Structure 1
Amino acid sequence: MDAPTLTTLAIAAVVVALAALVLAIGSQRRLAQVRRDFAALGGDGTTDIARVAAGQNQRIDRITAEVSRLREHVASAEEDVRQSLRNVAVVRYDAFGDMGGRLSFSAAIVDDLGDGIVLSSIHARGESRTYAKGVVGGRSSITLTPEEQQALSSATKDEKGRVPARTKDAS
């Protein structure tokens, strides 16, 4: 072989060697990235990807079960809150024309469904009387005075002035 052919072959060999070197460096970087990703998944270098994936699936299953359990607790807590007597309204008034100071009052204490009690205290000069009337679904089986009805209406409205809907299972 002559010198120009050997030179061309040598240059070609150098180009192929450089291309192989670039590919090897790229492969090494990609392998390092895959190892970092594998370690982030929980692999320790001695475990295969199938075991790591199975471990991740078990963790996901445990988290899913925990989320379901927490949802049940939240639903139970929401139901407890709906049934708590937390809506209160008081109306003060003068029951008799000769008395001042609005010493009489009617107070409604109900849950979110409108179940609870209306208390009224009527104050006169020589005596005071207190009455309690049960309320179910925002209504009483005993006739309510206008003041008692006003207190009940105020207690059963939400912050936007709407009366909460009664659910089927709470009746």
Structure 2
Amino acid sequence: MEIIMKILENFEGYIILGLTISIIILLIILITTLKSLNRLENKYRKFMRGVDNKNLEELVTGYLDKIDKSGEEVEHIRKLYESLNSRLKSCLQKVSVVRYRAFEDVGSDLSFSIALLDENNDGVIITGIYGRNESTTYAKPVDRGISRYDLSEEEKQVLQDCVTRVLS
């Protein structure tokens, strides 16, 4: 133990000088770290201040609430779209008309056949035959593009036009 004490007494000046230099280096590191921390804290405060003195957490929470509300609205619109789309399938979507002269002694193309069909080719063919003394109108139901009644050439033509019409 005495040997260690003698060695420490011989190098006492160097040890104190080394410790003083270490303390000065540590103080410089501490000061630069505190400056960096202070700058970072200022940036953090600016960042958290946000808009209209709201902090970032309130802003993010508000935006997340808006996103949730938008998701609910999108789901509502999707359901509404599906409902409208299913209802639209049964609406008239295909129409075809042909005018013709039913009798040779009648001057103009006053007779007609019109087909009114939905997406599934269900609907009706309406035919109006005009003659000099009388006019007659017929309605023939159509189911999946086929009528269970006999069709005239003109009625077949309008039905074929409607069935082959492509919906856009």
Is the counterpart of residue 69 in structure 1 residue 76 in structure 2? yes
Partner of 2:33: 19
Give how far 1:99 is off.
2.8
Which has the higher mean CA deviation after the structures are superposed, 123-132 or 107-116? 123-132
Aligned residue runs from structure 1 range 46-61, under 5 A: 56=64, 60=68
- Residue 90 (structure 1) aligned to one of 94, 97, 110: 97
TM-score norm. by structure 1 comes to: 0.68
Give how far 1:103 is off.
0.9
Identity %: 29
Give how far 1:154 is off.
2.1
Show structure 1 runs of 5+ residues with no match.
Answer: 44-51, 161-171
Q: Name the aligned partner's letter for residue 17 of structure 1.
A: I
Q: Secondary structure at the match of 2:136?
A: strand
Q: Which has the larger radius of gyration?
A: 2
Give how far 1:22 is off.
1.8
Aligned residue runs from structure 1 range 1-171, under 5 A: 13-14=27-28, 16-34=30-48, 36=50, 37-42=56-61, 56=64, 60=68, 64-156=71-163, 157-159=165-167
TM-score norm. by structure 2 comes to: 0.69
Change (3 A) 1:111 1:159: closer
CA RMSD of aligned residues (A): 3.3
4+ residue runs of structure 1 moved beyond 4 angstroms? 4-12, 56-59, 62-66
Show structure 2 runs of 5+ residues with no match.
Answer: 1-12, 51-55
Q: Name the aligned partner's letter for residue 35 of structure 2.
A: L
